[in-house]
Amino acid sequence: MAIFRRGLSKTRQSFFGRISQMLGNTEIDDDTWDDMETLLIQADVGFDTTVRVIDSLQDRVRAEGMTKSAQLQGALQETLSSLLAFPPALDISGRELSIILVVGVNGSGKTTSIAKLAHRLQNLSRRRVMIAAGDTFRAAAIEQLQTWGSRIDVPVVANRPGSDPGAVVYDATVAAKARGYEILLIDTAGRLQNNYNLMRELTKISEVSGKVVPGAPHEVLLVLDGTTGQNAIQQAKKFQEASGVTGVIVTKLDSTAKGGMVFSIFNDLQLPVHYLGLGESIDDLVLFTPEFFVESLFEEEDEDEA
Ligand SMILES: Nc1nc2c(ncn2[C@@H]2O[C@H](COP(=O)(O)OP(=O)(O)O)[C@@H](O)[C@H]2O)c(=O)[nH]1
Ligand SMILES: [Mg+2]
Backbone angles phi, psi at 101, to 5 degrees: -90, 135
Q: Are 259 and 226 in contact (CB under 8 A)?
A: yes
48 to 51, 65, 202, 233, 235: CA distances (angstroms)? 5, 26, 29, 12, 16
| Strand 273-277 relative to strand 247-251, pairing | parallel
Identify which of 6, 11, 111, 112 to mutate to test ligand 1's pocket (most ligand atoms within 8 A of the CB).
Answer: 112
Condensed to tens digits (0 to 9), the pLDDT of residues 219-267 reads 999 999 999 999 999 999 989 987 889 999 999 999 999 999 999 999 9
The model carries a pTM of 0.95
* Ligand 2 centroid to residue 111 C-alpha, Å: 4
Q: What is the pLDDT of residue 306?
A: 42
Residues 158-179 as b/e (b if ≥16 CB within 10 A, e otherwise) read bbeeeeebbebbbbbbebbbee
Distance CA 201, CA 246 (A): 18
pLDDT means per 10 residues, the chain with 306 residues, are 93 89 90 94 96 97 94 94 93 96 95 98 97 93 97 97 96 98 96 74 93 96 97 92 92 97 97 97 96 89 50
Condensed to tens digits (0 to 9), the pLDDT of residues 62-103 reads 999 999 999 999 999 999 999 998 899 999 999 999 999 999
CB within 8 Å of 134: residues ≥ 6 apart: 165, 168, 169, 172, 186, 187, 188, 189, 205
The pocket around ligand 1, CB under 6 angstroms, is made up of 104, 106-112, 190, 223, 251-252, 254-255, 277-280, 284
Report which of 200, 278, 192, 180 is spatially closest to residue 238, judged by C-alpha positions: 192
* Ligand 2 centroid to residue 160 C-alpha, Å: 15
Instruction: Please identify, by atom number, the ligand 1 atom nearest to the C-alpha of residue 114.
Output: 15
Torsional sign, CA 9, 15, 21, 26: negative
Q: What is the pLDDT of residue 191?
A: 72
Tell me the three state secondary structure of residue 112: helix
* Ligand 1 centroid to residue 279 C-alpha, Å: 8
